[in-house]
Amino acid sequence: MRFRRIAALLLAALFPLLNTGQAQAAGYRYWSFWERGGDAWTYATEGPATARPADGDVQGFRFSVSEDSQDASQPRGTADFATICADTPARDGRKRVALVIDFGTAPDAPSGETPPPARTACAQVAPDATTAEALAAVAKPLRYDTNALLCAISGYPHKGCGEQVSAERKPARESGEESGSGPSLGVVAGLAAVAVLGAAAGWQARRRRHD
């Protein structure tokens, strides 16, 4: 009876752990918007339609599949403002905004589409221009949905906008980025609990043989 109580308690604790993998959130395929300070990218706190970069700012866009801002892939490349805007002389009454446009990797691409190579551009726009206006100056055609969500840059992707991707189909992280490839805590704990149950069952069987 004592073994049965122990087994019941272990199974009760094990059940939610074994189901942890089933509760993985799905990802979404979309263009994320980033701001760069020094050598670091920061996920933008507002959309490109309202952000108003200053002259000399570096901003980026990355197309990928991610669950949220904590999981999103950053734009790749190390080009800074001086490099990106080297061939665009300063002009009175205009500002220059350096843009990094990363179309993502093949696993992130919608079915049947191939991402173009990542590129940079220097937009020279009015002093009060938004990031969206700077992007439109160098990367048309842009496509938005009815909720003003940015769906495509330079025509990529050709269709779709922020569509959901199941957890099973979510692309793996590229080399150098954090990955969820190792076993989850729930799986490890579950295997440990199964091992404990097996040992307890063996001990109980041996005890009965000796009684």
Per-residue pLDDT, 141: 97
Burial class (CB in 10 A: 0-12, 13-18, 19+), 93: exposed
Helix, strand, coil percentages, rounded to 5, for the chain: 30, 25, 45
Cα–Cα distances (Å) from 70 to 43, 166, 178, in that order, read: 9, 18, 11
Model pLDDT, residue 201: 45
Percent of all residues in the chain with a pLDDT value above 90, rounded to a whole number: 61
For the stretch 63-93, pLDDT in tens is 999 988 888 999 998 889 999 999 999 999 9
Pairing of strands 164-165, 27-37: antiparallel
Q: Say yes or no to pLDDT of 171 above 80.
A: no
Higher-scoring residue by pLDDT: 62, 8: 62
pLDDT tens, position by position, 136-166:
999 999 999 999 999 999 999 999 999 999 8
Smallest CA-to-CA distance from 102 within 81, 117, 114, 113 is with 117
Per-residue pLDDT, 195: 42
Burial of 82 (0-12, 13-18, 19+ CB in 10 A): exposed
Q: Which residue has the higher pLDDT, 51 or 208?
A: 51
Strands, E assignment, 17-173: 27-37, 40-43, 58-66, 95-102, 119-125, 143-144, 150-152, 164-165
- For the stretch 22-65, pLDDT in tens is 445 579 999 999 999 988 999 999 999 999 999 999 999 999 99
Average pLDDT over all residues of the chain: 79
Picking from 134, 38, 14, 170, the residue whose alpha carbon sits closest to that of residue 142 is 134
Is the pLDDT at 211 greater than 90, yes or no?
no
